[in-house]
A and B are shown apart, each in its own frame.
Chain A
Amino acid sequence: MASLKAYIATRVVLTVPMILILLTLVFFVMRVLPGNPVIAIVGMKASPKYIAELEHQLGLDKPLWQQYLDYLGKLIQGDLGTSMIWGRRPVIAEIMDHFPATLELTICSFIVSIIIGIATGMIAGVKKGGKVDFSMRVYSIVAYSLFIPWFGMMLQLIFGVWLNVLPVGGRIDPLLEPKHITGLYIIDSILTLNFKSLVNALEHLALPSLTLGIVLSGIYTRLVRSSLIEVFSQDFIRACRARGLKTSSILFRHGLKNALIPILTMMGLQFALLLAGAVLTETTFSWPGMGTFLMERIEYRDFTTVQGTIAFYALFVALVSLVVDLIYAYVDPRIRY
């Protein structure tokens, strides 16, 4: 257990340079190139004097390196600063307003993708080499190639317009918004036993998470398939058959379990893909999450918020991969950190 703690410590320590590298990249690129939040927000009409004043307020008149050091100094204390536009709210509050939406979307898409991915991957892996396998492989490539906005729009057209059974945008009907507890509407509405909200939230989630989920399921199809084939080619599966174990037991207890382990190790990186895909999904479905938020703040050059968001993304990705590693260590007896 002590070494597990050491492992976590190592991982956390290694996250720091990662965030630093990304932040530094973004910090300097953003500030060296033209545009700044003051100009973007005051619009066209403000006087130069007023702009200068605001720039001073935001510390944008200081030398770049000093701004950088100031920012890092605050960051070390866990302070992401305040947004530079629209109310100058704390960046962390802004992020927390949008993050639950993204989290809800990504988790649901993840579930969709993993269910479809495992099912198709298993079918392909078991029927290796045949027509079914080939079609599953084609499915995996096609699914991954489905350009998210395009695919999303097709689903909107089919389910939102032609069949008119599902909403094509937004997270929930505003009047049905559940009491804010976690910010995840599904959980909040369950906690408050508000089933109307739950149904509504799920309806809103359906198309976006299907879009993202199906696209990413292609990756899992591929991973599960090759991993399963790999496992099935191993001696111990043959040994299991030689002992006369039941087919289902070989497939699930021995085969799938072993096959999922390498997939688990890749899950951390897959999550990054999920987050990236979420940006396009959010834009297509007007989903009020981190992606749309980041796009907007980049346009307005809200330096602190953009930096904060990038740092947050990095931290989140690191956290997910840490959790994945811990689960990995838990399920695989060979790994003991």
Chain B
Amino acid sequence: QKPTPPPAPPTPKYADTITIGTTDKISDLDPAMAYDFFTWEVFNNVMEGPFKYKPGTTDLEKGIITDYQVQEGGKVYILKLRTDLKFADGSPCNANTLKWSIERVARINGDPAWFVTDLVDKVDVLDNYTLKITLKSPLSFFPAILAVPTYFPIPPDKYPADKVSSDNTAGGVGPYRIVKFVRDQQLVLEANPYYYGTPPKTKTVVIKFYKDATTLRLALESGEIDIAWKTLNPTDINSLKTKPGIKVWEGPGSFIRYIVFNTKIPPFDNKLVRQALAAALDRNSIAQKVFLGTVDPLYSLIPNGMWGHIDAFKDKYGEANLDLAKQLLRQAGYSESNKLKVELWYTPSHYGDTEADVAALIKEAWEKTGMVEVTVKSAEWSTYLDLTRKGQLAVTLYGWYPDYMDPDDYTFPFLHTGSNRWLGNPYSDPEMDKMLEQAEVEPDQSKRVDLYKNIQIKLADDAPIVPIFQGKLYVASKDTVGGIVLDPLMLLRYYLIYKQVGS
């Protein structure tokens, strides 16, 4: 008797449409202008550039190129493009198109134009599918930059050559194309029939825009959306975890938050004061109380999980080290009767409505030394930035989303003389500058690791900037949804996502 073969598992059926909700918004649907995560996420789904990241890692892989060469000690990059690239309307994409797109970015000179203008000297078409990019100076991490949407080719007949086109739905050569865009309400994507690669698992993706996290969460629970993406409240994440029919996905984030001291404004020009405050900081209480564990304490500017990271601040000060803080403060001339007066600034909405609580806990931690008196102040984003830039705020709270996945992006703009002017933070140290510059051009990975290690140690010692925490990524979805891949890039790859229907 032959054993009857087990019934073949029914082939899972996938839904045609998936709806994703977010509280983010689209700035400009134009790579020459957009400089924010969510818009870049959309670009990463409707366009593609020379490089991309392997999902789930911070490793680069080839995108629309088949091959590339680095010449002249890292100064020249030769890119060989695929020959089967087509835009969403079927028109072809070649080296000329890419050159036009890159030069357009420089021409328009929008917000992210520095990716091109600061780095690239010139772009030449060698043949129809070969492009030569000459840099101003060698750059060890240029492929990471080539993965930035600013380098994504776009159809020249759909975008004006020297003007920003904010509501453009032409897209690029990515797996999806845009079929509908209503600002602040919805974005509808459909599989791009001309995409060279594997077609997406789900044909239609609808993105709905929500004003706040609470409604986002409710929308998921009520079934209005399949996936709740950025950014859910910590409480909601925790309670969603226990909800039947809902699945919460967690992944590392590359978003960091930190305290900036203006080293020109007394008493913060005194290293002892900065060190004392760094020592007194209680990161765990912030992570646990305000974020309910949905963020991780951070002890360096380079996030956990990125190569080169060390827990520099923890090594030097420990955590909430009041004894050390008191000792340092005493050294700096303060006491219980002569308290250090700190004006701590935050901005109420830009970093979410948790910010007031973060400030409150920092104040509490510092005041626990008994030798500090903190006045909390706040200003709207625009004012906050303006005052910061003018160097008028002594202690501020800021956050950073990376532009490219390299420790350089987490150190150079903060610590290099002149590059950190945007923080109104005139921290300037020749030794630090030298290390940073070296790390930028050093092609040898292990040497770079050492350099960044020293940079972090020095950072912790000087403490012009004190890291607080690092974000984690959360996605909540219906449990029928699969294919969500989270990595420090913090992009959702729609083309990997699917939703099962039936069983």
**Cβ-based interface call for B11 (8 A):** no
A292 & B211 in contact (Cβ 8 Å cutoff):
yes
**Cβ-based interface call for B230 (8 A):** no
B385 & A169 in contact (Cβ 8 Å cutoff):
no
Chain B residues near A168 (CB-CB < 8 A): 214-215, 218
State A167–B385 Cα separation when bound (angstroms). 37
B217 to chain A, nearest CB (A): 10
**Cβ-based interface call for A78 (8 A):** no
A86 & B382 in contact (Cβ 8 Å cutoff):
no
B382 & A35 in contact (Cβ 8 Å cutoff):
yes
**Cβ-based interface call for B114 (8 A):** yes
A153, closest chain B residue (CB)? B214
Give the residue of A43, A89, A174, A287 whose beta carbon is less than 8 angstroms from that of B111: A43
A165, closest chain B residue (CB)? B222
A299 & B109 in contact (Cβ 8 Å cutoff):
no
Chain B residues near A167 (CB-CB < 8 A): 218-219, 222, 224
Within 8 A of B (CB), among A72-106: 86-89, 97
**Cβ-based interface call for A117 (8 A):** no
A37, closest chain B residue (CB)? B382
**Cβ-based interface call for B413 (8 A):** yes
Chain B residues near A287 (CB-CB < 8 A): 211
B357 to chain A, nearest CB (A): 19
Q: Would A161 and B184 be within 8 Å (CB), given that A33-B383, A36-B386, A40-B382 are in contact? A: no
B167 & A87 in contact (Cβ 8 Å cutoff):
yes
Interface size on B, residues (CB 8 A): 49
State A33–B185 Cα separation when bound (angstroms). 32
**Cβ-based interface call for B319 (8 A):** no
B489 to chain A, nearest CB (A): 18
B185 & A177 in contact (Cβ 8 Å cutoff):
yes
Within 8 A of A (CB), among B1-30: 17, 19, 27-28
B387 & A89 in contact (Cβ 8 Å cutoff):
no
**Cβ-based interface call for A53 (8 A):** yes
Within 8 A of B (CB), among A48-80: 48, 50, 53
Chain B 158-202: CB-based contact to A (< 8 A → 1; otherwise 0): 000000101100000000000000111110100000000000000
State A41–B382 Cα separation when bound (angstroms). 8
Chain B 378-421: CB-based contact to A (< 8 A → 1; otherwise 0): 01111111110110000000100001000000000100000001
A39 & B212 in contact (Cβ 8 Å cutoff):
no
**Cβ-based interface call for B422 (8 A):** yes
B161 to chain A, nearest CB (A): 17
Chain A residues near B164 (CB-CB < 8 A): 87-88
A170 & B167 in contact (Cβ 8 Å cutoff):
no
Chain A residues near B38 (CB-CB < 8 A): none
**Cβ-based interface call for B52 (8 A):** no
B210 & A170 in contact (Cβ 8 Å cutoff):
yes
A34 & B167 in contact (Cβ 8 Å cutoff):
no
Chain B residues touching A, majority SS:
mixed
B111 & A164 in contact (Cβ 8 Å cutoff):
no
A58 to chain B, nearest CB (A): 14
Q: Would A301 and B166 be within 8 Å (CB), given that A46-B422, A169-B211, A174-B206 are in contact? A: no
**Cβ-based interface call for B229 (8 A):** no
A39 & B208 in contact (Cβ 8 Å cutoff):
no
B387 & A34 in contact (Cβ 8 Å cutoff):
yes
A286, closest chain B residue (CB)? B211
Chain B residues near A288 (CB-CB < 8 A): 184-185, 211
State A283–B214 Cα separation when bound (angstroms). 12
**Cβ-based interface call for B349 (8 A):** yes
Give the residue of A39, A48, A286 whose beta carbon is less than 8 angstroms from that of B210: A286
A44 & B185 in contact (Cβ 8 Å cutoff):
no
Chain B 110-146: CB-based contact to A (< 8 A → 1; otherwise 0): 0101100000000000000000000000000000000
State A292–B186 Cα separation when bound (angstroms). 17
Give the residue of A41, A47, A97, A161 whose beta carbon is less than 8 angstroms from that of B183: A97
**Cβ-based interface call for A42 (8 A):** yes
B224 & A173 in contact (Cβ 8 Å cutoff):
yes
B347, closest chain A residue (CB)? A299
Chain B residues near A253 (CB-CB < 8 A): none
A35 & B210 in contact (Cβ 8 Å cutoff):
no
B231 to chain A, nearest CB (A): 14
**Cβ-based interface call for B46 (8 A):** no
State A299–B113 Cα separation when bound (angstroms). 25
A53, closest chain B residue (CB)? B109
**Cβ-based interface call for B47 (8 A):** no
Give the residue of A34, A87, A285 whose beta carbon is less than 8 angstroms from that of B383: A34
B210 & A40 in contact (Cβ 8 Å cutoff):
no
State A287–B210 Cα separation when bound (angstroms). 9
**Cβ-based interface call for B469 (8 A):** no
A182 to chain B, nearest CB (A): 15
Chain A residues near B494 (CB-CB < 8 A): none
A89 & B423 in contact (Cβ 8 Å cutoff):
no
State A138–B385 Cα separation when bound (angstroms). 48
A147 to chain B, nearest CB (A): 17
State A207–B213 Cα separation when bound (angstroms). 18
**Cβ-based interface call for A237 (8 A):** no
A298 to chain B, nearest CB (A): 7
Chain B residues near A170 (CB-CB < 8 A): 208, 210, 215, 219, 224
**Cβ-based interface call for A45 (8 A):** yes
**Cβ-based interface call for B346 (8 A):** no
- Residue among B385, B413, B423 having the largest count of chain A Cβ atoms under 10 Å: B385
A160 & B218 in contact (Cβ 8 Å cutoff):
yes
Question: What are 7 A-to-B residue pairs whose CB atoms are below 8 Å?
Answer: A35-B379, A35-B382, A40-B382, A45-B403, A45-B413, A86-B166, A299-B349
- A-B pairs with the 3 shortest C-beta distances? A87-B166, A169-B215, A286-B211
Since A46-B114, A86-B28 are in contact, a sample of 4 more A-B pairs with Cβ atoms closer than 8 Å, ordered by chain A residue number, is: A34-B383, A35-B383, A42-B35, A89-B166
